[in-house]
Each structure stands twice: as C-alpha cells, then as structure tokens.
C-alpha cells in the first residue's frame, strides 16, 4: 500500500510518534494505528512500518473510531515478519464493545490475538491456549475501556485495564509462528470472533512493557495524538466582518488536529 496515501495533515507524524515514545522511555511500536482518519477506507500505521490497514466488508467510521458489526467486518493490515513473535511482546488497545457476552477479538494474528470473553479479557495463542482472566467485570457494554496484555519470555500473559494491573495467567508453551497476517476486529486471517463495537487505537510492541510503561499508555491513551479540536478560522471570520469596519466574530470550524 502506497505511503503517499498518508493524509497531508499528518506530515511528520511518524517522527513525532517516535519522539513521543523515546522521550517517555517507551520502546518504539511495530504497529501504531490511532484511527484518526474519520473517513476513507484506510487506517494509517504511524510506527514507520507502513502496515496500513484496509477496510474489509462493511467496516465503517464512527467518529474517531472504526466500527465492526461482529459478523464479518475487519481491518486487514496484511502479513509481515514483524508480526512473527514467539514471546516478549505487548498488545495495547482502546475499545468499546456493544455487548457484555460472547467472545470477540480486538486485534491480532492467526497465531495470537487479544479480545474479550464475556466481561473477562482473553489472550489466545491459537492452537495452544486461551489465556482467560479469572477476574470478570473488566468492562461494561457500550463503555470505552483501555486494555493491554504482555506475553513474557516464560509465556505468561499479564493483563492491564484502565491503568491497573489485573492478573497474570501462566502457561508453558508459546504461540506458533506460521501465520503473520495482522487484522483489527478479528484474529488475523481467521474468520471468527469478529469485534462487535468500536476500536479507537491499536498498538503493538515487540518488547515487554513494564507496569510503569503500561500505566503511561493508559494515562495518556492517545500519546502524541491530540483529540479533534475546534480552531478559530480567522479567514472565515474576516469574510464575516460587519460592513463599515465592524468587529468580526471568529467562526469556529472543526479540523483534524496535527500530532503534538
């Protein structure tokens, strides 16, 4: 997919994402999808890896998030060796689910993926193990939440929600490493467990993030990305000036903000 498809208002965005991570002592992501396009059929990877995602089926935008219908909608980021990881990596998502029952996937590959099982979190090494939290009630239907999972070198999965450590689930075998297609709203190339709700951000790190690093991601959920804001459009204001030199009234217009 051409890098030229990157929106012009995100000029220098990759460098800014990199600087944000560096200045905060965070490893560089291998995938960073902030979902701020609001239109079109592409989500842009700002990690520098160019793993841009393509809308598949009826995926659509809802404000600053993509929405899946839980049936067959997903974002296809293609296959790449970057996503072949046997252990020591972190997945981070900001999401909202319309239901509090069933099993859905926020993102992942055919080898590993991250999602929910009823109101628990579930990380799966496909064909090996479902890591389910014992703790339930970790999210509510139609309420945004922030979730991360870290798979360490011992193949134990540690879960975090909204800035707090939840628990660690142990196992002795890591994932397979033969399916490297990454997708949002389903587990890679597997046609199952589609996400029913919104995804606001997905990032992947080929490092084990510490609790303090995870906490930073949860406390500053959009990192270097500002929310959309209202900026004064002074050119429009000038055109609306009252005849005879009267005082003009600035007109507020909504624009995509630049990255900080």
15-50 tens-digit pLDDT: 888 888 999 999 999 999 998 888 899 999 999 999
Last residue of a domain, one of 201, 219, 237: 219
One domain, residues 234 and 141: no
Residues of the chain above pLDDT 90, percent = 70
Phi then psi dihedrals of residue 163, to 5 deg: 85, 0
CA distances to 83, 92, 101, 156 from 137, rounded to whole Å, are 30, 19, 11, 22
For 54-58, what is the mean pLDDT? 94
Q: Which of 61, 64, 31, 43 is nearest to 1 (CA)?
A: 43
The C-alpha atoms of residue 33 and residue 14 are separated, in whole angstroms, by 11
The contacts of residue 121 (CB under 8 Å, 6+ apart) are 114, 115, 132, 133, 138, 147, 149, 159, 161, 166
For 81-93, what is the mean pLDDT? 96
Q: Which of 49, 75, 59 is nearest to 188 (CA)?
A: 75
> Which band of pLDDT confidence, cut at 50, 70 and 90, is reported for residue 81?
very high
One domain, residues 174 and 257: no
One domain, residues 73 and 165: yes
Q: Which domain holds residue 254?
A: 228-260
Domain count, the chain: 2
Map residue 17 onto helix, strand or coil.
Answer: helix
Are the CB atoms for 224 and 260 separated by under 8 Å? yes
> 131: burial class by Cβ within 10 Å (0-12, 13-18, 19+)?
buried
Give the domain CATH number at 95. Answer: 2.60.120.200
One domain, residues 215 and 110: yes
> Which band of pLDDT confidence, cut at 50, 70 and 90, is reported for residue 219?
confident
One domain, residues 60 and 144: yes
For 127-148, what is the mean pLDDT? 97
Q: Please state which of the ranges 78-92, 119-133, 189-203, 217-231 shows the lowest mean pLDDT.
A: 217-231
pLDDT above 70 for 140: yes
For 119-123, what is the mean pLDDT? 98
Q: Which of 161, 160, 172 is nearest to 210 (CA)?
A: 160
pLDDT at 233: 35
One domain, residues 60 and 108: yes
pLDDT at 173: 87
For 53-58, what is the mean pLDDT? 94
pLDDT above 50 for 188: yes
For 128-147, what is the mean pLDDT? 97
How is residue 164 annotated by DSSP?
A: E
Mean residue pLDDT across the chain? 84
pLDDT at 222: 66
The contacts of residue 233 (CB under 8 Å, 6+ apart) are 250, 251, 252, 253
């Amino acid at each position: 997919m051409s890098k030229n498809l990157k929106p012009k208002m995100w000029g220098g965005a990759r460098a800014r994402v990199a600087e944000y991570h560096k200045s905060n002592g965070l490893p560089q992501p291998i995938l960073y999808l902030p979902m701020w396009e609001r239109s079109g059929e592409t989500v842009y990877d700002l990690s520098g890896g160019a793993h841009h995602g393509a809308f598949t089926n009826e995926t659509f935008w809802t404000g600053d998030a993509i929405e899946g219908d839980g049936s067959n909608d997903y974002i296809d980021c293609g296959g790449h060796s970057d996503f072949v990881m046997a252990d020591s990596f972190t997945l981070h998502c900001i999401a909202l689910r319309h239901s509090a029952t069933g099993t859905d996937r926020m993102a992942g590959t055919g080898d590993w993926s991250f999602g929910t099982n009823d109101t628990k979190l579930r990380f799966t090494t496909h064909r090996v193990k479902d890591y389910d939290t014992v703790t339930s009630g970790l999210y509510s239907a139609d309420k945004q939440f922030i979730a991360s999972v870290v798979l360490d070198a011992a193949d134990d999965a540690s879960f975090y929600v909204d800035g707090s450590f939840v628990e660690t689930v142990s196992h002795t075998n890591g994932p397979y490493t033969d399916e490297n297609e990454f997708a949002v709203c389903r587990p890679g190339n597997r046609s199952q467990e589609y996400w029913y709700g919104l995804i606001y951000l997905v990032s992947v790190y080929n490092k084990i993030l510490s609790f303090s690093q995870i906490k930073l991601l949860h406390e500053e959920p959009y990192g270097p990305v500002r929310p959309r804001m209202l900026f004064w459009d002074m050119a429009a204001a000038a055109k609306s000036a009252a005849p005879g030199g009267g005082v003009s009234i600035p007109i507020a217009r909504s624009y995509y903000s630049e990255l900080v």
